[in-house]
Amino acid sequence: MRLVTTAEQVSEPISSWDPYTRGCPSRDLLDQIGSKWAVLVLGELGRHGPCRFTQLRRQLAGVSEKMLTQTLRTLERDGLLRRTVYPEVPIRVEYELTPLGQTLRGPLKALTEWSVQHIEDVLEAREEYDERAGRR
């Protein structure tokens, strides 16, 4: 909890964490958790439970190793998932949601389902738009 230090120390948290403010950390966070690979990684860990690297790589068809690693690191750093190394031979690494990460499941699930449920409406809208633009 970030506090404002005043004489009396009866300060309030600076809760102007408004993403509509320029440079606010919550804006960047919003961007990060809404990014393509982060959404899919968190979604997969949410439904499936703990996953290994290669497993995730397969599930998120099309992701490069670089982007997967990068995404996992960022999410780990943000405290949304935990990385556990089992020093076996060959080595085994598992990723799983932290309690904080769990709280994101709902919102992300809603967003993902929306995109599946309404993709056809959107594709239709695009065709209409392009057609109208073509006539002009």
Partner DNA sequence: CCGTATCCCGAGGGATACTG
Partner DNA sequence: CAGTATCCCTCGGGATACGG
The residues that touch DNA, with contacts defined as CB under 7 A, are: 35-36, 52-55, 63-67, 69, 72-73, 83, 90-93
The size of the chain, in residues, is 136
Q: How far is the CB of 30 from DNA (least distance, A)?
A: 13
Query: How many Å apart are CA 35 and CA 63, to the nearest integer?
Result: 13
Per the CB < 8 A criterion, the answer to whether 24 and 17 are in contact is yes
User: If binding is defined by CB under 8 A, does position 48 make contact with a copy of itself?
Assistant: no
User: If binding is defined by CB under 8 A, does position 78 make contact with a copy of itself?
Assistant: yes
User: If binding is defined by CB under 8 A, does position 50 make contact with a copy of itself?
Assistant: no
- Residue 67 binds which of a copy of itself, DNA, none (CB < 5-8 A, kind-dependent): DNA
Residue 80 is given by DSSP the state S
Residue 23 is given by DSSP the state T
